[in-house]
Amino acid sequence: MRALKRGELAEAIAALDGEKASHAGTPRQAVMLEAVKMLEGHFGAGTGALYEAGRTFARSESEGAQEVGLVPLGRPFAHNPEEVTETMLALADSGNWEVREWAASTLRRVIGENFDSIFETVEAWAEHGSPNVRRAAAVASGSAAGGCTEEQCRRLLQVMTPLLEDGDPYVRKNMGAFAVGDGFLRAQPEMTPAWLGRAGSHPRAQWNVAMALWVAEAAKHFGLLGDLLVKLAAEDRRVVRRAVYRAVLNLAKRVPEEVALLVERWKDDPARRHVYDHVAGRL
């Protein structure tokens, strides 16, 4: 704090670096959140001075400072949209996974507070050449869905549609279960199943649909998702089948009677018997 009072941001960044945790190469989250509070307390929330300090932190070589700096940049997005977007993009493609998380979180906040201004950026990120950036677009959109209107969610889902077939593992493992299942399904439980039902036939798309049914949130909407599960159960592609088995077993933990009844019907169904054979003894 003394360094901030003297206007020595470089010294403050060095002090922050001295708190690095070994597991991520950045300070513990509590330390960084405290640093954000100190910046806001010293420069004043929403001020131009805080924005400039955030920019200095975010554009430093310190990964911990980059994370801290993203917060005061994301909140006053309208102060300089182009500069904030450029900084978020650079950090969304960071080599440090924790910095990428903070960048995605900042994008989530901007989507929630400045939807119309940032939507074209989300579209561009969803088609970006870097899987890190595409993943940030997916995760941020899913996280922001809870604060978006129905129409805004519809537009975001349209942008996310090609990502259902994304071939990069980093994008794929964050798409169906997290961006869709924990994000959009929670926010829009009627719209999202209908959107999933329109997913392409590519095995990656169908795998993502199955993974959206795997999350705990899906059990709350089993009545809306049952038809999707019936459709997926007839899949003969191994990668999709394995995801279906996971989804059925996880759903059975939360809605056991409904799942058991459905699976029992597949005992004499040639296209779906494989699901019965795989899970019946474990229900």
Which CATH number goes with the domain that contains 176?
Answer: 1.25.10.10
Report the pLDDT value the prediction gives residue 278, as an integer from 0 to 100.
96
Q: Are 235 and 206 in contact (CB under 8 A)?
A: yes
User: Rounded to an integer, what distance in angstroms lies between the CA atom of residue 122 and that of residue 110?
Assistant: 10
Report whether pLDDT(176) > 90. yes
For the record, the structure tokens of 261 come out as 């009844």
Whether residues 102 and 78 share a domain: the answer is yes
Report whether pLDDT(64) > 80. yes
User: Rounded to an integer, what distance in angstroms lies between the CA atom of residue 229 and that of residue 234?
Assistant: 9
Q: Quick one: average pLDDT of 76-83?
A: 91
Whether residues 36 and 121 share a domain: the answer is yes
Whether residues 192 and 128 share a domain: the answer is yes
Domain endpoint, select from 162, 188, 208:
208
Whether residues 64 and 198 share a domain: the answer is yes
For the record, the structure tokens of 152 come out as 């805004």
Whether residues 152 and 221 share a domain: the answer is no
pLDDT per residue as tens digits for the range 140-165: 999 999 999 999 999 999 999 999 99
User: Rounded to an integer, what distance in angstroms lies between the CA atom of residue 237 and that of residue 235?
Assistant: 6
pTM reported for the whole predicted model? 0.92
Which of the pair, 181 or 11, is modelled with greater confidence? 181
Q: Are 279 and 263 in contact (CB under 8 A)?
A: yes
Query: For the chain, what is the mean pLDDT?
Result: 93
User: Rounded to an integer, what distance in angstroms lies between the CA atom of residue 73 and that of residue 200?
Assistant: 38
Report whether pLDDT(219) > 60. yes
DSSP 8-state secondary structure symbol assigned to residue 280: G
pLDDT per residue as tens digits for the range 232-277: 999 999 999 999 999 999 999 999 999 999 999 999 999 999 999 9
Report whether pLDDT(217) > 90. yes
| Percentage of residues in the chain having pLDDT higher than 70 | 96
Query: In Å, how far from its chain's centre is CA 155?
Result: 16
Q: Where are the beta strands (DSSP E) in 82-185?
A: none
Structural domain boundaries, residue 238: 209-283
Whether residues 36 and 136 share a domain: the answer is yes
Q: Where are the beta strands (DSSP E) in 76-218?
A: none
Comparing 12-21, 28-37, 76-85, 172-181, which segment has the lowest mean pLDDT?
A: 12-21
Domain endpoint, select from 173, 208, 243:
208
- Helix (H) / strand (E) element for 245: namely helix 238-254
Strand partners, 20: 27
Confidence of residue 45 (pLDDT cuts 50, 70, 90): confident
Whether residues 198 and 229 share a domain: the answer is no
Residues 6+ apart with CB under 8 A from 136: 92, 100, 103, 104, 107, 125
Whether residues 138 and 263 share a domain: the answer is no
Report the pLDDT value the prediction gives residue 263, as an integer from 0 to 100.
96
Helix 81-92 with 131-144: angle, nearest 10 deg: 120
Whether residues 110 and 183 share a domain: the answer is yes
Whether residues 256 and 277 share a domain: the answer is yes
Report whether pLDDT(1) > 60. no
Whether residues 283 and 194 share a domain: the answer is no
Whether residues 88 and 179 share a domain: the answer is yes
Q: Give me the number of domains the chain comprises.
A: 2
Domain endpoint, select from 208, 239, 263:
208
